[in-house]
Structure 1
Amino acid sequence: MTKARNKARNKARKKNRKVTGRHALHTLVVLGLLGTSAYLTVELREQQDGTAPPVQSVSGTGTGTGAASGGKPAAGERRFERLASPARTVVRAADGGVLATFTDGARTAVLTGASRTFTEPKYTDAKVTTDSWVRLLPEAWKEGGEKAAWFKDWFSTSLGSKEPDIFAFAMEYIEGAPQKKDARGVPYSGDAQFGPLNPNGSVAGDLRLEQSDFYDYLGIPYRFRDGTVEQPEAARFRAMDCSGFVRTVYGYRARYPLLAKDIKGDGLPRTANGMARLSPGVPVLELTGKRPDATDRLQPGDLVFFDIDKRTGERLDHVGIYMGLDTDGKPRFISSREEANGPTFGDKGGTARLDGNGFYAAGLRSAKRL
């Protein structure tokens, strides 16, 4: 009997040792997996942090277009904050950094993304370094727009995207920009001129003719939504005046609606004066007939309007696209100009800044957010 009990105990001990061994092995495997998981998680987080775009900060009723704060978008729930002057929704990451700004009544959205530096050494020593990416919303923003069915997909696709934006389009027409053609062989981008030489002009004034629109640059007929068909002029091929440049960038490239002439409607009119007075969008700097007192309400992508030709009376005669602050901290814009014979953010013919007492700064009259 005793011998039988001892045999049973020995058998039980061997079984327990096997079970214990299996448990230990299982524990080691689990710990190993957890360690590997933790390592991969840290590596992934570091990789994401290394490629995450810098973000900007806003305070009070500012537009959030100042210098980057150096923070990084944090994972987690995003906050939608309402600000005024103008009424807008600011999207913040969990750490408070600004991810995007949407203005009530405007389709123009500014998203924080990878930093870029734009240069044009032939015409200016200034550089524009910005992490603002300007894109068009599918429809005009309104309070609570983040709850709309289209917004989630649009925002997740657009935030952090490096697909060409308004600035990228604009830079494709400055001097020296390479030509690109579509599938039909139409050159849709590349170095653009302002317009053909004026037979009655001079270097001191009206050297080149105005009235070159995007279809002149493209060299193709264009049918507008109202049925109007405009034919390009051969002499204006590869040329666009100031409003033609804006219509090329915002209209033909970014697909903002275009109007055939200066009328009030859902689209960009033909001239700078028409855009300022008739186009949809949000007035950012009110048109009073005088120079605005300040430009701090501007955000990248805003259209800026000027009165620089006294012969036009009260008509606004020049338009450009605000780029933000240059590396000297000065507000700078890009436009197509006669003096540079095409699109530029340089200083030939007048410093392309909106502050100080320069030619364009003194002529600034209003701004609008499309």
Structure 2
Amino acid sequence: MSAPKFRPSRRSALLALAGATAGGALPPVAAPAAAAADTPAALPWAEPSAPTVPGARMPMLIDPTDPWHFTPRPAGALATRAIAGGLEVSDGGGVLATLTTGARTVTVRGPRRWFTEQKRRVEDSFSRELTGGTTGWGTSPDGGTWWPNSKDDAHVADYKVTAGRAAVTLSATGSSRHAYLSDKGLGDVRARARFSFTQVPVGAPLSLALTFSLKSLDTHYRARLVVTPAREVQLVLEKALDNVVTVLGAPVTVGTGFAAYDHWWVQAEKTGDVLRVRAWKHGVAESALPAWTHSLRDPDGTTALGAGAVGVRAYANSGAQTGVEARVYDFLVEEASWTDPPVVTHDTWVRVLPEPFDGTWTPELEQRVRAWAGDLSPDALAHAAMFLPYASSVTDPARGGAKVLGPSLYSRPDPVTGLRTVGADFQEYAGISWTFPGFPARAPEAEFLGCLDCSGFVRMVYGYHMGIPLLHESAAPDGHGLPRTSAQQSAAGPGVKIADGGTGTVPPLTGLRIGDTVFFDTDEDSDAGGHIGIYLGPDQYGKRRFVSSRKTPNGPTMADVGGKSILDGTPASETAKGDLYTNTLRVIRRF
């Protein structure tokens, strides 16, 4: 029996209609001249699966009902007005464009757009070896940090990852051992995990559960795989609410003859208040999976659990033997949706001049702004959105079919630490060679194919696609081209600094404009260049949100896994640390 499709929300259906009306995948913009491309290799990772509802997860949609589509562009004659640091251009509809002296980026009024992001698929096979006394399960690919937890912190050392499996030692009976992913915003979700025990239970049952809608250790749903001393395998569906446990689906025997190290899958699906769970022994073909063991609505709708995290819970009943390892070999979030995804909506488009604006309004500039007034070709923000999860992939025939747009990773995790490494520039993503001014052709590093680090993401958007000259990693920054690292881009990148807070100080946001690059002190070796992003605009809560490529969410993101992507969140003065990027912002630059 195949898993049922998620029902789209009314808003998702509207967005899908908008996407269908506005057009299909964004075409690539011609890149600056470079060396001939290598034949692109196959990506070493699977892209996110297509969304169930077309358009429901698209990272950018144009509003087809915006009056922009039905009115003259520009609306009448153009007028200019000098403003601090630049020039403002208006037509009969209001401010049409804003130019900054010394910068190439120009903001232009266009049709209204939505930018958003939805949860990407998570696949964790625990193929990492945490050493050096490190406890816990490390960081999952795409899913954030695993948090080991129990009612007694003394047992945190019982958690480990080794040789392609995560494990927790049940060192005491009658107590729970939880591990969960840090993302607590999941609403509808479908997940599965592969479990085993290193011993057959003696004296009392052992269990491993797939937990979902987890708000705390005391409040969650769980699909619990129970192994009895009689070697029966049972599946139970439970709900814990403030540590009061309700059995929603009574134990059902799904197997017999359990032996140590037998592997069993548990799958759970939540759609609104509808819960479905099942279990099967490893090796069963996908086409032969059993029907749902339990399929029901939470009988108490008033306490149905909403958004939460996913994870696992190991439990040794009182009287069971100790020293048993509960193991997890695979953990997959097959599909999930955030109940409150980030959404940025506005009518600002970010265009790039061939040269920095020198402060003079010319007929050539007027002609260019008039053309931009009716232009629907991709701008900087559209290109940035095309690297988020569920974007369409676009290849460039002129570069041997290399992929130049589409979902990106940050990098593959280090096999020892599970952490991700810096090194993926724009040419690594596409798998192409590139000739920089004054240097011989540089070949891409194959290990980073399909990946972008934070500065590589900005170079891909503003350099490769929008035409700002790209500098070799060994070239001295010249204030005109786009250097390789975020520290160089901050200190001596193209354009002008809008704000500089200096060492340890957050600058004011008063001059911030959509499309600006923002730099953060997240690197102990570089006060202003540890991280870089592109400012997208205010979100649905009025918070200034940026997009950047980050290690924990494993690629470009405008969401909050691994730290909120906002510039005006909670300051450190109000809590122990505050919001990471709010408190580490140091420089704002306009290219």
TM-score bracket, shorter-length normalisation: 0.7 to 0.9
Where do 1:274-353 residues align within 5 Å? 274-310=488-524, 312-314=525-527, 316-353=529-566
Partner of 2:352: 136
Structure 1 residue 220 displacement after superposition: 1.1
Deviations 1:236-288 (A, max 9, x none): 10001000000000001111101012622120100000000111211111241
Structure 1 residue 51 displacement after superposition: 3.4
Rg larger for: 1
Structure 1 residue 155 displacement after superposition: 1.5
2:351·2:380 contact (CA, 8 Å) conserved in 1?
yes
Work out the number of aligned pairs and report it: 296
2:548·2:557 contact (CA, 8 Å) conserved in 1?
yes
How far apart, in 1, do the equivalents of 2:440 and 2:366 lie?
37
Structure 1 residue 159 displacement after superposition: 1.2
How far apart, in 1, do the equivalents of 2:404 and 2:341 lie?
28
Higher helix proportion, which one? 1
User: What secondary structure does 2:565 align onto?
Assistant: coil
Counterpart among 264, 276, 279 of residue 477 in structure 2: 264
Partner of 1:178: 392
Measured at CA, do residues 240 and 335 of structure 1 come closer, stay the same or move farther in structure 2, by a change above 3 Å? same
How far apart, in 2, do the equivalents of 1:354 and 1:53 lie?
32
Find out whether 1:193 has 2:409 as its counterpart: yes
Partner of 2:238: none
The residue identity in structure 2 corresponding to 1:339 is T
Partner of 1:164: 378
Measured at CA, do residues 98 and 72 of structure 1 come closer, stay the same or move farther in structure 2, by a change above 3 Å? farther
Partner of 2:341: 125
How far apart, in 1, do the equivalents of 2:86 and 2:504 lie?
26
2:74·2:370 contact (CA, 8 Å) conserved in 1?
no
Uncovered stretches (5+) of structure 2, i.e. residues with no partner: 1-64, 120-337, 572-578
User: What secondary structure does 1:285 align onto?
Assistant: strand
1:285·1:292 contact (CA, 8 Å) conserved in 2?
no
2:73·2:373 contact (CA, 8 Å) conserved in 1?
no
2:107·2:350 contact (CA, 8 Å) conserved in 1?
yes
Partner of 1:107: 104
Where do 1:137-156 residues align within 5 Å? 137-144=353-360, 146-147=361-362, 149-156=363-370
Structure 1 residue 293 displacement after superposition: 4.3
Structure 1 residue 98 displacement after superposition: 0.7
Structure 1 residue 199 displacement after superposition: 2.9
2:520·2:528 contact (CA, 8 Å) conserved in 1?
no
2:507·2:586 contact (CA, 8 Å) conserved in 1?
no
1:166·1:250 contact (CA, 8 Å) conserved in 2?
yes
Higher strand proportion, which one? 2
Measured at CA, do residues 315 and 304 of structure 1 come closer, stay the same or move farther in structure 2, by a change above 3 Å? closer
1:106·1:141 contact (CA, 8 Å) conserved in 2?
yes
Where do 1:92-103 residues align within 5 Å? 92-94=90-92, 97-103=94-100
User: What secondary structure does 1:223 align onto?
Assistant: coil
Where do 1:26-37 residues align within 5 Å? none
How far apart, in 2, do the equivalents of 1:53 and 1:299 lie?
24
Counterpart among 425, 432, 453 of residue 220 in structure 1: 432
The residue identity in structure 2 corresponding to 1:319 is I
Partner of 1:67: none
Measured at CA, do residues 51 and 307 of structure 1 come closer, stay the same or move farther in structure 2, by a change above 3 Å? same
User: What secondary structure does 2:428 align onto?
Assistant: helix
State the Cα RMSD in Å.
Answer: 2.2
1:107·1:139 contact (CA, 8 Å) conserved in 2?
yes
The residue identity in structure 2 corresponding to 1:369 is R
Partner of 2:67: 51
1:263·1:278 contact (CA, 8 Å) conserved in 2?
no
Structure 1 residue 53 displacement after superposition: 6.6
Task: Indicate the percent of aligned positions where both proteins have the same amino acid.
Answer: 36
TM-score by length of 1: 0.76
Find out whether 1:229 has 2:245 as its counterpart: no
The residue identity in structure 1 corresponding to 2:487 is N
Measured at CA, do residues 293 and 235 of structure 1 come closer, stay the same or move farther in structure 2, by a change above 3 Å? closer
User: What secondary structure does 1:52 align onto?
Assistant: helix
